[in-house]
């Protein structure tokens, strides 16, 4: 299920967040710290959608109009539902507040805290993944999340992985390059077998014939 949601401007200014009870707040403290780290890593070339895996939870974010919408979910929660939820949150936020208002230099931290009411209500509708409306969303082929960038929190924290498009593209190119090298070796090996297999078979027959004829 979606457990918590944070809305932040791309310059790091927190705009709104769900008001979580003490128990949830305590259990998610580690992940909320990781969310802050993710916000700091986001730049102008950041992927517009990404999933960051962290132990028993996942952090999904969506960027629209210079605002990042992030939710913390249990790892078993369907990614497609998480991003549909974030899309609903983003659409309502854009409807409720003007762009100039959101990006004003005079905005204070969590100035739009009253948006929590909508987030809590929406979160409840997404809670049961087996509900008919949520099953319909899961079956919506137009919302394809298979190509959404996925990272591990350890890679971001300790290996310096980037959330930028070019960083992800570089990583994919390295993976693709390794796949192509492996495929090329396999093709070359197959060609060698096809080229020399007849000679090997002929030699084997000759050896059998000589053995049968003279021994």
Domain boundaries, the chain: 2-163, 165-215
Taking residues 35-62, report their average pLDDT.
Answer: 90
**Arch. (CATH architecture) of 2-163:** 2-Layer Sandwich (3.30)
3-state secondary structure at position 46: strand
- Predicted structure pTM score: 0.70
- Write down the pLDDT at residue 160: 60
Q: What is the DSSP string of 84-147?
A: HHHHHHHHHHHHHS-HHHHT-TTPPTTTTGGGHHHHHHHHHHTS-TTSHHHHHHHT-TTS--TT
pLDDT in tens, 74-114: 999 989 899 999 999 999 999 999 999 999 999 999 999 99
Q: Within 13 Å of residue 89, how many CA atoms lie on the same side as its CB?
A: 37
Contact 10, 66 (CB under 8 A): yes
pLDDT at 170 over 50: no
Contact 54, 157 (CB under 8 A): no
- Write down the pLDDT at residue 140: 58
Q: Which two tokens stand for residue 24?
A: 């949830």
């Amino acid at each position: 299920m979606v457990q918590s949601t944070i809305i932040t401007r791309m310059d790091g200014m927190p705009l709104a967040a769900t008001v979580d009870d003490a128990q949830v707040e305590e259990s998610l403290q580690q992940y909320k710290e990781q969310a802050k780290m993710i916000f700091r890593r986001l730049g102008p070339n950041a992927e517009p959608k990404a999933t960051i895996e962290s132990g028993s939870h996942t952090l999904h974010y969506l960027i629209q109009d210079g605002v990042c919408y992030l939710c913390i979910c249990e790892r078993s929660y369907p990614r497609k539902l998480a991003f549909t939820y974030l899309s609903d949150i983003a659409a309502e936020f854009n409807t409720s507040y003007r762009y100039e208002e959101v990006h004003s230099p005079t905005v204070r931290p969590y100035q739009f805290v009253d948006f929590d009411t909508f987030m809590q209500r929406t979160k409840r509708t997404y809670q049961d993944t087996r509900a008919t409306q949520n099953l319909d969303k899961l079956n919506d082929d137009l919302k394809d999340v298979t190509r959404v960038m996925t990272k591990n929190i350890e890679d971001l924290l300790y290996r310096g992985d980037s959330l930028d498009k070019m960083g992800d593209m570089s990583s994919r190119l390295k993976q693709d390059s390794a796949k192509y090298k492996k495929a090329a070796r396999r093709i070359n090996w197959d060609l060698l077998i096809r080229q020399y297999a007849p000679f090997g078979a002929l030699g084997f027959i000759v050896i059998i014939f000589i053995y049968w004829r003279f021994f």
